[in-house]
Homo-oligomer: A and B are copies of this chain.
């Protein structure tokens, strides 16, 4: 994911946050979006699909939220309030998806990798959020 970090760290006009945390979050959000999409489809193909419903749902919602949060984050410089409101919801989705994937990581290989990507994304979201300083009026 070098190009994303290069773009953010070397070329963005106004630094919207600590550039390293910003680049890391963007990279992890798109990585988790990808692993969630692939993991949801692998679970759907599994003979035990009925036992994997929650995993499919959480992967689907987490993937949707990661993709969208990444776009909102890309506009962080101008709308920090929206980013601050959106990051906790995305981190929650990553945590729930990671916890669920971890439950069958031993027997479902895609879940093991996806759990790892979701944990990394959760942490990147939390770190970026912490670096943004106290909220003013993000939540109404």
Contacts and interface: CB of A to CB of B under 8 A. Distances in A.
A68 interface: yes
B79 A58 contact: yes
B78 A57 contact: yes
Contacts of A75: 41, 57, 60-61
Copies of this chain, count: 4
Contact of A57 (B3, B41, B58): B41
B109 A33 contact: no
A93 B122 CA distance: 22
A13 interface: yes
Interface of A: 1, 3-4, 6-8, 10-14, 26-27, 29-31, 33-35, 37-42, 44-46, 49-50, 53-54, 56-58, 60-61, 63-65, 67-68, 70-72, 74-75, 77-79, 81-82, 85-86, 88-89, 91-93, 95-96, 109-110, 112-114, 116-117, 120, 138-140
B67 A96 contact: no
Contact of A3 (B6, B46, B113): B113
Contact of A89 (B4, B49, B77, B86): B86
B30 A33 contact: yes
